[in-house]
Amino acid sequence: MVKALLVTRPKHDIPTSYLYDFSNAIVKTVKEINGMHITTIEGDSANRVNFEKSLAKENYGLLNVFLTKERIVYALACDSLELLGKTAIEQGTKAYIGYKARFMLVVDPTRFTSPNKDSNALPFRKACNRLINSLISGLPVANAIELTKKEYISSIRSLGTSKDDPYGDVPLIRFALAWNLEFLDMCGDPCACF
């Protein structure tokens, strides 16, 4: 049985451009896995109409957006867990992974046009990719979140000292990573697997 994954990748401002970049590795990884199919809706095409058309065509088991029944949702979006997550579970979603508060990201303003070269964004990219890779590998949602939180902790601990930080970004990056660590959570079935 082929597993299907749908990823929406808007790219209309700086934050979504970074998240678009974060998902490049995931898209590449999934395309290389036998028995797994990925559909991406990108840029200006990442809208409700195209999302719903795509849902009608295939039975996706893992999504990174809201609006599904009997599926796992990972929403890399600010404040999505409290309202959207609970609503999704009430409507039959297996598990909803998201943030109970704003998702924080620290970027280097000199890298806006090349997010993949932004070292400030690297620990955030690693955490997001850890979560998706854990889900794709078949781990239960609770385990995927646990591994992602360990990734956040590892990144916090590995950040350099003031000698390595000529612009003073490290304290802000640590704060943002700790914030995301605190507010990443899920609702629904912790044992749900993709």
What one-letter code names the amino acid at 18?
Y
Q: Is residue 194 part of a domain?
A: no
Entry pTM: 0.84
CB atoms near residue 82 (< 10 Å): 15
Element (H, E) at 62: strand 62-63
Question: What's the pLDDT score for residue 27?
Answer: 92
Looking at the domain assignment, is residue 32 inside a domain?
yes
79 domain-assigned = yes
**Residue 89 maps to a domain:** yes
- Residue 193 belongs to a domain: no
How far from 141 is each of 16, 53, 68, 113, 146, CA to CA, in Å?
A: 24, 27, 16, 33, 9
* Average pLDDT for 19-45: 91
How many structural domains compose the chain?
1
Q: Which of 13, 1, 132, 129 is nearest to 63 (CA)?
A: 132
Q: What is the pLDDT of residue 66?
A: 44
128 part of a folded domain: yes
Query: Which residues, at least 6 apart from 53, have a Cβ–Cβ distance to it below 8 Å?
Result: none
Assign 121 a pLDDT band (cuts: 50, 70, 90): very high
Tokens standing for residue 41: 């809706």
| Chain segment 51-83, per-residue pLDDT in tens | 888 888 887 776 664 457 888 999 988 898 988
Residue 45, in any domain of the structure = yes
**Given a cut of 50, is residue 141 above it in pLDDT?**
yes
Q: Which domain covers residue 13, as residue numbers?
A: 3-188
Widest Cα–Cα separation across the chain: 54
